[in-house]
């Protein structure tokens, strides 16, 4: 379980720059604070779920749910980048 905990932590560390970059870009480009906060909350909740599933889940079905949590977190960041890009381009 210790190795799974270390791996989950390492994954969070590797994913952190994407979160920070997308939050900063969204803020600088003028995305509303409410949307940024909502996205950050969704990201935090799914990353906590991902970590719990990674550490405690060992079955194939749990790993599928863990993958969905991982992608949800990443898509939240990509959505912030997309919203910021739309505002910069004036659309």
pTM for the structure as a whole: 0.88
**14, pLDDT greater than 80:** yes
- Residue 34's pLDDT band (cuts 50, 70, 90): very high
Distance of CA 43 to the CA centre of its chain: 4
**38, pLDDT greater than 80:** yes
pLDDT score at 68: 95
pLDDT score at 8: 86
Instruction: Give the domain ranges of the chain.
Output: 2-89
**12, pLDDT greater than 80:** yes
Measured CA to CA, the distance from residue 87 to residue 73 in angstroms comes to: 22
Q: What is the pLDDT of residues 48-57, one digit of tens each?
A: 999 999 999 8
pLDDT score at 70: 94
Phi, psi at residue 59, to the nearest 5°?
Answer: -90, 165
């Amino acid at each position: 379980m210790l190795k799974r905990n270390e791996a989950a932590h390492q994954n969070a560390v590797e994913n952190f720059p994407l979160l920070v970059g997308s939050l900063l870009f969204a803020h600088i480009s003028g995305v509303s604070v409410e949307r940024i906060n909502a996205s950050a909350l969704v990201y935090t909740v799914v990353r906590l779920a991902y970590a719990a599933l990674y550490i405690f889940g060992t079955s194939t079905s749990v790993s599928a749910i863990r993958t969905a949590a991982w992608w949800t977190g990443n898509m939240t960041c990509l959505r912030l980048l997309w919203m910021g890009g739309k505002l910069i381009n004036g659309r």
